Structure 1
Amino acid sequence: MKILIIEDENQIASYIKKGLEEQGFSCLIAENGIDGLHCALEGDYSLIILDIMLPVLDGWAVLKAIRSKKETPVIILSARDRVDDRVRGFDNGADDYLIKPFAFPELYARINNILRRHQVINPSEVISIGGIEVDPIKHRAYVKGITIELSAKEFMLLLFFMRHSGKALTRSQIASHVWDINFDTDTNVIDVAVRRLRQKVELDPVTKYIHTVRGVGYIFELRNAD
């Protein structure tokens, strides 16, 4: 699950990103309003954390532009603590408004509350499919009870596959969510990573999990080999 952080204060943005990634989220930081708006409109995010006092384009303009195109949940995070500012935030479509300084547990609780309202799965839940189990909090993966050693990107790739089990995923989607990059057709990094992941999770010749969808990308679902 991916969260966009539009925040120009590096220390705050890094603090939020670190805390959320420890809880199993994938995060992208945008340091100004223009970049943040571009990411918000072009990417697929479960939630957006938005500062108001941004360079280039302020948060009010960013929020208005987002709401004209998308319904992605938005939490405003701002040092502006006047009632008028909070009311303006809600009137313009924000889902919540948190005043700086803040404690991370409160931000995390508000994020979970919004995601529950939008019926998004809690990213900290252990996922188990066909003998594979992934624990986002402990950052561990098991195949039929056996712990498997995965790199950070392999773990994120497996988690992304399992959270979208049964859905065909394009290479562009995988690149965006796991590597935070735009997919380059001349780059085989995704195919190499998938091949390595297959070798680690498909421990017997009968059970197969990751399948190529020709012309599209990959799909994760339990099948028996022909």
Structure 2
Amino acid sequence: MTNILIVDDDSHILKLVDLHLSEAGYHVLQAQDGVEALDLLRKKKCDLAVVDVMMPYMDGYTLTKEIREMYDIPIILLTAKNQIEDKEQGYISGTDDYLVKPFEPKELLFRIKALLRRYDNQLDDFKICLGRTVINKKSYEVHIGDLTILLPLKEFELLYFFISNPMQVFTREQLIEHIWGLDYEGDERTVNVHVKRLRERFYKLTDDFQIKTVRGVGYLLEAKR
């Protein structure tokens, strides 16, 4: 279920938004100030935040900045003001959208759905699927069915590069350049070690792909068709 965080010091707004979002199938988390909101975010995964501007302890602009620094979720600011300067401050803080009070709950729902679709599409750009294997460059996770695998950074980057370019042969020099950079001071044995580790990790988990040695040249990733 999609979790929506609502942050507003007005209990009537919280109840109204909670009612409409719950009826639309969302799970709503409520906070009455920025401190409480950040505490909730640390404890629960939220997919979107709706944040009021005028709140005690921490205003909505500050909270938006805090959320943007720590979490990659869409944010809608709620405000009683409709001045261009206020909107500008909101977008500078990092909000994705802006809604002026009083507002129609249906309009908030439309905006939430639109933002969630946009963020889902962006996340898809970071994913590569190969059979049951999904490699996600946004979270740096590899998923095989229900199994989630976290790899050391260079192993992940090497696997992502291979899966992005299946059935292409790369020399060890090319792999060093793409993964470690031109200023890397190590030698080609680094590639051999990382390929060996990837093979050991995945050969029992999936047959979606295999990293093959091309004798005298380098490596390629053979994808199951």
TM-score range, shorter chain: 0.5 to 0.7
- What SS does the aligned partner of 1:49 have? strand
Deviation at 1:18, TM superposition (A): 0.5
CA distance in 2, matches of 1:85, 1:26: 29
Contact kept? 1:78, 1:98, Cα under 8 Å? yes
Please report the RMSD computed on the Cα atoms of aligned residues, expressed in angstroms: 1.7
- Gap regions ≥5 residues in structure 2: 122-144, 149-225
8 Å contact from structure 2 (residues 62, 93) kept in 1: no
Q: Judge conservation of contact 1:4–1:28 (CA < 8 Å) in 2.
A: yes
1:27 partnered with 2:28: yes
1:182 aligns with none
SS of residue paired to 2:77:
strand
Counterpart in the other structure of 1:150: none
Match of 1:111 in 2: 112
Residue 136 of structure 1 is matched in structure 2 by: none
Matched with 2:98 is 97
Find the aligned partners of 1:167 and 1:28 in 2 and give their Cα distance. Answer: 27
1:66-89: CA deviation from partner (whole Å, max 9, x where unpaired): 111111110001112111111111
Residues 2 and 45 in structure 1, CA contact (< 8 A), matched pair in contact too: yes
Q: What per-residue deviation string (whole Å, max 9, x for no partner) do you get for residues 10-64 of structure 1?
A: 0011000010000100001101121012223442111000001111111111111
TM-score normalized with structure 1 length: 0.52
Trace 1:98-177 onto structure 2 (pairs within 5 A): 98-119=99-120, 167=146
| Change in 2 beyond 3 A, CA 1:14/1:56 | same
SS in 1 for 2:120: coil
Number of aligned residue pairs = 124
Separation in 1, partners of 2:94, 2:29: 22
Q: In structure 1, how many angstroms separate the alpha carbons of the residues matched to 2:43 and 2:67?
A: 11
Q: Distance in 1 between matches of 2:56 and 2:146?
A: 39
Change (3 A) 1:87 1:24: same
So what's the TM-score if we normalise by structure 2?
0.52
**Counterpart residue identity of residue 85, structure 1:** D
SS in 2 for 1:118: helix
> Residue 63 of structure 1 aligns with which residue?
64
**Equivalent residues of 1:41, 1:69 under 8 A apart:** no
Matches within 5 A, 1:169-208: none
Cα gap change, 1:76 to 1:167, in 2 (>3 Å): farther
- The gaps in structure 1 that reach 5 residues or longer are 121-165, 170-226
* Partner Cα separation in structure 1 for residue 146 and residue 90 of structure 2: 36
Kindly name which structure, 1 or 2, has the bigger radius of gyration based on alpha carbons. 2
Aligned equivalents of 1:60, 1:92: Cα separation in 2: 6
Aligned to 1:82: 83
**Percentage of identical aligned residues:** 35
- 2:54 corresponding residue in structure 1: 53
What CA distance in whole angstroms lies between the structure 1 residues aligned with 2:101 and 2:116? 21
Shift in CA distance, 67/41, structure 1 to aligned 2, threshold 3 Å: farther
Letter in 2 for 1:6: V
2:7 maps to 6
**Partner residue in 2 for 1:124:** none
* Distance in 1 of aligned mates of 2:13 and 2:92: 26
